Amino acid sequence: MNIIVLNGSPKGELSITMQYVRYLGKKFPQHEFRILHIARDIQQIEDDPQRFAAIIDQIAAADGILWGFPLYSLLVHAHYKRFIELIWERQATAAFQNKYALAIATSVHFYDHTALQYIRAVCDDLQMRFIDAFSADMQDLLNEEQRRRLLIFAENALQTIEQQGPTFPAPQPAESHPPPYQPGAEPAPLDTGDRQVLIITDAESPDDNQAKMVARLQASFGGRAEVVNLHELQIRTSCLGCIQCGYDNRCPLENLDDFIPFYRSKVMTADILIYAGTIRDRYLSARWKAFFDRTFFMGHTPTVRGKQIGIILAGPLSRNPHLREILEAYFEIMQANLVAIVSDESGSSATLDGLLDLLAQRLIAFSGQAYLKPQTFLGIAGSKLLRDEIWGRLRFPFVADHRFFKAHGGYDFPHRDWRTRLRNGLMLSLMKIPRIRETIYRQRMKEEMVKPLQKIVEET
Ligand SMILES: Cc1cc2nc3c(=O)[nH]c(=O)nc-3n(C[C@H](O)[C@H](O)[C@H](O)COP(=O)(O)O)c2cc1C
């Protein structure tokens, strides 16, 4: 069979993910795995219609499509995202219809599930027959048991294609088409004090919902908010995955375009940040994705820590729960305060006016109080994963991250908690005595657990 592999790594042949594909090529020599370097070559693919058409022809002729991609900033790489946009823009969806699809992602499992949900949804939109996805750690290929799992996955997928077998459908949320937003009378301007407010948008026309929501919000800030449109910034490429920034946060692209100077001087210095986007396929635009990918020059450090964040979105957010999760997780891990996501799905124009005005008020009020809502599982689990990776196998090459984590209490492992260790040691010994164990578990547990909290309440 002829399997077309869409390589989502900007590193092309040197992609880790492609080693998994090459391994399968060796194990299943009866099938051809033809790799197309989508993320590496996106500029030529976009600029040269014949090259794009040749790729689509190969897809149309294939027995199956393998989406092979690394995780980049909780999703796929921006260039891969752009290719997916081109499929729709250039009306090439017919080549994908009814085609079998499978996915292999490599990562450190940091929000790999959101990337898989994204690709799955894209395949469903393209009416492909999605078989399954395999999410490998970047080093799994070194492990015999993991290789065994990969082979079972691939064997099952290839068999399904060969036998033209059925696939498990994943019901998608209903379609949603937010109505045009018609803002009402301008809101009364709020006092922003000396706070720096930055709105980052990728609106393409002043008449679209995103642009109108941005204008409303800007009016609320009394025109004191700076608005930067990502289309007006020169961003020549997304991150190339070279990780030269790992040592000292210096990126080889630093002086080649506007991104890093902009990020350092405007984004990292703002008090209030508003991210405004429009949903394209199942995420924001590839432009926005390049923005998030390029922030990687600062590694895994929380570059917008302590800031108040607002998000305004045009498009079917309710259809894309993974997008909400990505945004919530991202800002929790950044230790920023995501005040709210306001979407144009929220209701009538009057309702939306009210929500945008409320967002502006809350952003200013919380900024004054330096409020940070508690992290949920998204931020806590994600931060622990990164902490362990940077402490362990990723300390090299991410030397700058290690320095930052060390200096800012990032290595908050429980083994430093001497009080808890002492208590555990004492209690574990006591628990060996049946009478004490009985008394504590049966009679004292609930009471003892609540005691320190009751003390605070009583003293208040
Ligand atoms: C800029 C950048 C962003 C990344 N983002 C993520 C991420 O969000 N989650 C994750 O688990 N791994 C992330 N990774 C790790 C890569 O997904 C992983 O190293 C992958 O195996 C690289 O595959 P490739 O060589 O095929 O590009 C990121 C790596 C880079 C360079």
Return d(Cα 231, Cα 221) in angstroms, integer.
23
Residues sharing a CB contact under 8 Å with residue 365, sequence separation 6 or more, in sequence order:
none
Element (H, E) at 4: strand 2-7
For ligand 1, is residue 110 a contact (CB within 6 Å)?
yes
For ligand 1, is residue 85 a contact (CB within 6 Å)?
no
pLDDT value at 442 more than 90: yes
Average pLDDT over residues 197-226: 97
pLDDT of res. 114: 98
pLDDT of res. 416: 80
Q: What is the pLDDT of residues 115-137, one digit of tens each?
A: 999 999 999 999 999 999 999 99
Task: Let me know: does 85 contact 285? Beta carbons within 8 Å.
Answer: yes
For ligand 1, is residue 239 a contact (CB within 6 Å)?
yes
The strand pairing partners of 130, in sequence order, are 101
Mean pLDDT of the chain: 97
3-state secondary structure of 270: coil
**C-alpha of 3 from chain center:** 28
Q: Which atom of ligand 1 is nearest to the CA of 110?
A: 11
Average pLDDT over residues 212-230: 96
CA angle (200, 352, 194) in 5-degree steps: 45
The strand pairing partners of 337, in sequence order, are 308
Return d(Cα 33, Cα 4) in angstroms, integer.
6
What separation in Å is there between the alpha carbon of 89 and the centre of ligand 1? Answer: 27
Q: What is the pLDDT of residues 88-105, one digit of tens each?
A: 999 999 999 999 999 999
- CA 420, 422, 424, 427 torsion: positive or negative? negative
Which position has the higher pLDDT, 171 or 300? 300
In 209-336, where do the E strands start and end? 225-229, 272-278, 308-314
| CA-wise closest residue to 39 among 126, 136, 110, 105 | 105
pLDDT value at 223 more than 90: no
pLDDT value at 374 more than 90: yes
| CA-wise closest residue to 79 among 249, 225, 278, 285 | 285
- Above pLDDT 90, what percent of the chain? 98
Residues sharing a CB contact under 8 Å with residue 274, sequence separation 6 or more, in sequence order:
197, 198, 199, 200, 214, 217, 225, 309, 310, 311, 312, 363
Ligand 1: residue of 107, 109, 240, 334 to mutate (most ligand atoms within 8 A of CB) is 107
What separation in Å is there between the alpha carbon of 137 and the centre of ligand 1? Answer: 10
Q: Whose CA is nearest to atom 15 of ligand 1?
A: 107
What separation in Å is there between the alpha carbon of 336 and the centre of ligand 1? Answer: 23
Task: Let me know: does 69 contact 119? Beta carbons within 8 Å.
Answer: yes
Average pLDDT over residues 357-375: 98
| CA-wise closest residue to 146 among 104, 100, 115, 110 | 104
pLDDT value at 353 more than 90: yes
| Domains defined along the chain, listed by start | 2-162 (3.40.50.360), 197-377 (3.40.50.360), 380-414 (no CATH), 417-459 (no CATH)
Q: What is the pLDDT of residues 10-20, one digit of tens each?
A: 999 999 999 99
- Work out the number of other CB atoms within 10 angstroms of the CB of residue 353: 20
pLDDT value at 287 more than 90: yes
pLDDT value at 176 more than 90: yes
Cis ω before 397 (30° cut-off from 0): yes
Q: Whose CA is nearest to atom 18 of ligand 1?
A: 107
pLDDT of res. 45: 98
pLDDT of res. 400: 98
What separation in Å is there between the alpha carbon of 47 and the centre of ligand 1? Answer: 26
pLDDT value at 415 more than 90: no
pLDDT of res. 315: 98
pLDDT of res. 417: 87
Q: Please classify residue 435 by burial: count the beta carbons closer than 10 Å to its beta carbon, then call 0-12 exposed, 13-18 middle and 19+ buried.
A: exposed
Q: What is the pTM of this model?
A: 0.97
pLDDT value at 414 more than 90: no
